[in-house]
Structure 1
């Protein structure tokens, strides 16, 4: 993962392009650290997150799930790595803008969700496939009520269908759609416009516009990640779903499942 300053704008580029920028523990940790570094820089007025033309971010590396053998290990992973990265976006002193080209899957869509602003290319696509592998999009389900209306949020989280960029625009997940080769320029132009303002004014504005997300929203995210760790991972559906994913077949979920 890489951080570069371009005048008053910090550019963070996700690593592991060979895996479509799928995030492992090191990736989540690096994202949190770079966001904290950029937000603490008095010269920075905005941060832009980048992937590559094929993908913005493919979310959690599915290989991480296979290594989480116990609820305790799952809690340590999600609350120790994923949650701090999401909190770093929300709590960053300056606005964070996602520049989305290609696919944003799972945690990649959730990064877009909690960003302050997002620009999408015409070929950008968004998907939350977790339900198809027996788990659920915890960060999105918990945070979306604080950023999106519940109907568009439910459409994406419950169906696991892929949204094109124009549908994402109508849902409010992104703020502008441009040609794919203009995504980076548009995101940085937006950041530069923000950067023309006083850093103190920018910081205070973000603090108030994200107030409910920072408090109630991120508390809900923590609760959701804990429930995922304690109750979902290791369940029959999660075991079958991840095994089917690895074997490239349709999962055979149980007709009935334990409910709360």
Structure 2
């Protein structure tokens, strides 16, 4: 492991993004995350009670999303498969997932926050889906965000690239708790102490019940969006123009095809 720090301490599995400064979600990084989750799947069911996803102290962002180099037509399929595997692995594990957010959570970084069951953010954290600026759209957010924050707010984030600060994200329902930076460790410990106070199998069963009821059609929705994204969107010339413009640090010149 070179991009992820992984440990189990006091019945909590800590999965720490450690690719400073921005925790860009490259394919190798996502593969490491899934390797950690595979390792957790081999642990005794009572060996841990919660999962915490956070950024290492040396990182200035939770994650600014996918690597543009990994998001070419030749690699888009692998990227979506690997990222959606994170969600599916978390569902299979069945443990509550706590996201701890400092700095930016953009693109797939914001979608990773949406994968979490409970989210703590510092007051200066920001959340956004900037993909439309690059001639793309966020497939996972298109499925998850309307369910989590509602249709209207999700539409503005995806179509207008609206960025939410921590307070707005809390009001929208993407974030549960907002605290100053110096209170982040204490708030995380407080939340974990509550989770650890319950029966482990009952807690897991309750989490599965919530996901079954609320996300019962999620796999079909993700598959439909994957198909549209890979077989339609990635064929547009404007997608390649948007990615080129980002690499060249210029404004895209859209051809509208």
Report if TM-score (shorter chain) is over 0.5: yes
For structure 2, list consecutive stretches of 5 or more residues without a partner in the other structure: none
Tell me if the contact between 2:51 and 2:95 (Cα under 8 Å) persists in the aligned partners. Answer: yes
For residues 207 and 118 of structure 1, the distance between their equivalents in structure 2, rounded to whole angstroms, comes to 18
What is the alpha-carbon root mean square deviation over aligned residues?
1.8
Tell me if the contact between 1:8 and 1:192 (Cα under 8 Å) persists in the aligned partners. Answer: no
1:26-45 matches, within 5 Å, as 26-38=28-40, 40-41=43-44, 42-45=46-49
Q: TM-score, normalised by structure 2?
A: 0.90
Partner of 1:207: 208
Partner of 1:8: 11
2:51 counterpart SS class: strand
Partner of 1:181: 182
1:233 counterpart SS class: helix
Partner of 1:48: 52
Matched, 1:78 2:86: no
Q: Deviations over 1:174-203 (max 9, x none)?
A: 001000232243223212211111011111
For residues 187 and 163 of structure 2, the distance between their equivalents in structure 1, rounded to whole angstroms, comes to 23
Partner of 1:60: 66
Count of residue correspondences: 250
Tell which deviates more after alignment, 55-64 or 97-106.
55-64
Partner of 1:232: 233
For residues 156 and 196 of structure 1, the distance between their equivalents in structure 2, rounded to whole angstroms, comes to 36
1:216 positional shift: 0.8
Tell me if the contact between 2:70 and 2:76 (Cα under 8 Å) persists in the aligned partners. Answer: no
1:212 positional shift: 4.3
For residues 98 and 181 of structure 1, the distance between their equivalents in structure 2, rounded to whole angstroms, comes to 17
For residues 233 and 180 of structure 1, the distance between their equivalents in structure 2, rounded to whole angstroms, comes to 40
2:47 counterpart SS class: coil
Cα gap change, 1:141 to 1:88, in 2 (>3 Å): same
2:137 counterpart SS class: coil
Task: Select the structure with the greater relative contact order (CA < 8 A; seq sep ≥ 6).
Answer: 1
Partner of 1:95: 96
